[in-house]
Structures are given as structure tokens and as C-alpha cells.
Chains A and B, each alone.
Chain A
Amino acid sequence: MNKDQFLYQLQQALRPLDPELTKEILADFEEHFANGLQQSRSEEELSKELGDPAQIAKEYKDSIADGQQHQDIRSSWQENWQRPDTMTPEARHQTALQPDSTSWQHGSEPDTASDGSGTKAWTAQDHQNAGQGINEGTLVLVIVLNLFIALPVVLSLISVLFGFWAAAGGIGIAGLALFAVAILEAGIIGLILFLFGLSLVALAVIGLILMVYLTKGFVYLLRQYFIWNRNLVKGGAAI
């Protein structure tokens, strides 16, 4: 594999990450090649020693996940959502599928927690932002954005979700009520009522299952939005 092939593969493997961050990472490797070539090493040799681009990309993602995980532990409302032991198997599966999800590394011990070094979020601008406080201009912008755009949108979405839940529940209750009536009615009418009730209940169950997923997705997006807000206010680049 030559330099271009290596960098291309690395870039592809880094895809889910912030483009700005990807650019910085690729620059580091380009510099590595440039320095190696100066020592009259060949591109093939160098890329062989660097190792598998997919593995390198994974190591970057792992340390990002670590960093975010530590950050999340500090804000308590997310803790329950994130804790692997309180997560349902489906939820864990869902988050595991998200390439940039913060909780995909839950199996591993937070190694840096003991030395307290892992508490800072990993941003694209990394050390330049270390120690930087809250940016007031951005804070005002975020407040305005949330009050006038995000809040109405979120409230309407919650109402819609609530409406769907109520509808699904209502259909279920109607189905159950038909059962009750079917018991009183004898003969063919009772049978028809019973079957009609059955189909209503089935419909309600499907609706409720659908709603569980919809609500989960909504909460997930909301959470991402909060994280993004927080990163923005803290002056870091949103990943």
C-alpha cells in the first residue's frame, strides 16, 4: 500500500467523525510520511509499519467515546440513560449500532477515570480550547435559538407523540370494550364483535410498539441536541 492508498483508506474509515477532525488527523499522517520519506524510507514500508487504517480509525473513535463518556458521567440526568445495566437490550443494541454513539464502549473500564484526566470533552480543536471558559456570545445565541426555535419545535413534537400514544391506547381500549360486548352477544354477531375487537387490540399493540421506538428515537435526538448545545457553549467544536 502506498501513501495515497493508506490515507484514502484512513479517511474512509474515519468517515463518521467530524470532517475538521478528520482533516487534522490526516495531516498528522501526511507529516509522518513526509518525515519518513526524508529518512529515505519507502511509502510501502512506512504504511506497513503504521498498521491497519481501520484499526487506527477505531482507536481514534474509542478515545473519543471514552472522552464523551467521562463528560456524560458528570451530568447526572444522562447517567441512567447511559448506564449499561439500566439499559434494555434493545436500547443497547440500538446505541451500539450508532457509529458515533457515546455509549458504544460500555464494556470497557474507564481507565483514565482514576487519574481524573478523562473529564474533558475531546474536541477538534483540542488543546487550544483547554481551559477556555464559557463563550458569552454563543450562550446568548444558544438561548435565543432554544427559546424561539427549538422549544416550539420540541413542544409540538412532544404533543404529537402524546397524541399518537393516546390514539394507540384508545384503539386498544375500544378493542377491549368490544370483547366485553361480545361476551354478552350470542351467535354470529358476538363472533363478529369478538374478531373486530381482536383486530383492534392487535392494531393497538403494533401501534404501541411503534410508539416505543419513536419515543426512544426522539429522546436520543433530544440528547444529541443537548450535547451539541453544551459543546457549543463551552466553546468546543461539536463532534
Chain B
Amino acid sequence: MNIQFKKGVLELCVLSMLMRMDQYGYELASTLSQSIEIADGSLYPILRKLAADGQVTTYLRESTGGPPRKYYSITAYGRQIHTQLLKEWQHFSASVNAITGGRAYE
């Protein structure tokens, strides 16, 4: 698959997960790798890029019985990007479904 395309989809997934609640890296990696076949290590460059873009912010929070965890939180700008990416994705997947002749849920 086109690497740029895959990156965009992964960014959409990460933003979607953060729409629900603030999460730390390991948490995000576990959720992501449950449904998508991806090396966990690929998540961190994406998170850093999103932070550099101002789509997410980070803060540290103490954890029980371990070092403090870096939590990621989506910003207003990130929500805006999320809406846009989601629209693009839905449009794209609808087109693919139309061409392949199947509906996603059948």
C-alpha cells in the first residue's frame, strides 16, 4: 500500500482513539495493534508528528507502581483535522466499495 496513504489512515485512527479520551502511548499501541497489523513502533513517530503539528498535546501523569506516563490529548485543531480526514476516508472507502461491488457490511 502507498506509504503516504497508510500514514494518513493511521493518523486518522490515532486521532479517533484520542477523541474518546486522553491515552498514553502503550495504551494506544495496544488498541491499534489489536485491529490493525502494524509494528507498535510506528505509532510513536506519528504521535510526535501530530504533536509537532499542534493536533495533540502531551502531559505527564503519575502511574501506580511505575514511572509517570505521557498522556496524549487532542486539541481543537486536531478535532478539525479529524473531521476532515474522516470525511476523506468515508468518501474513499465508499468509492472502493462501489467499484468492488460489495457493501462493507454484507
Contacts and interface: CB of A to CB of B under 8 A. Distances in A.
A66 B52 CA distance: 12
B66 A34 contact: yes
B44 interface: yes
A31 B70 contact: yes
B33 interface: yes
Q: Is the interface of A mostly helix, strand, loop or mixed?
A: helix
Contacts of B44: 25, 28-29, 32, 56
Contact of A63 (B49, B57, B69): B49
B25 to A, nearest CB: 6
Nearest to A70: B53
Given A60-B48, A127-B57, A130-B54, A36 B26 contact: yes
B45 A111 contact: no
Contacts of A60: 45, 48
B41 interface: yes
A84 B57 CA distance: 34
B33 to A, nearest CB: 7
B52 A51 contact: no
A50 B66 contact: no
Contact of B52 (A28, A38, A123, A131): A123
Contacts of B55: 117
A94 interface: no
B40 A49 contact: yes
Contacts of A36: 26
Given A31-B25, A32-B29, A34-B66, A56 B41 contact: yes
Interface in B15-58: 24-27, 29, 33, 39-42, 44-49, 51-58
A51 B41 contact: yes
Given A32-B25, A51-B42, A122 B49 contact: yes
Interface in A6-55: 25, 28-32, 34-36, 38, 46, 49-53, 55
A109 interface: yes
B3 interface: yes
B52 A67 contact: yes
A90 interface: no
B90 interface: no
A52 B85 CA distance: 28
A75 interface: no
9 contacts: A25-B44, A32-B40, A55-B39, A56-B42, A66-B49, A108-B3, A123-B52, A127-B56, A130-B54
Interface of B: 3-5, 7-8, 24-27, 29, 33, 39-42, 44-49, 51-58, 63, 65-67, 69-70, 77, 81, 84-85
Given A46-B40, A126-B52, A130-B52, 7 more contacts: A62-B45, A67-B49, A108-B3, A115-B85, A120-B52, A120-B53, A122-B52
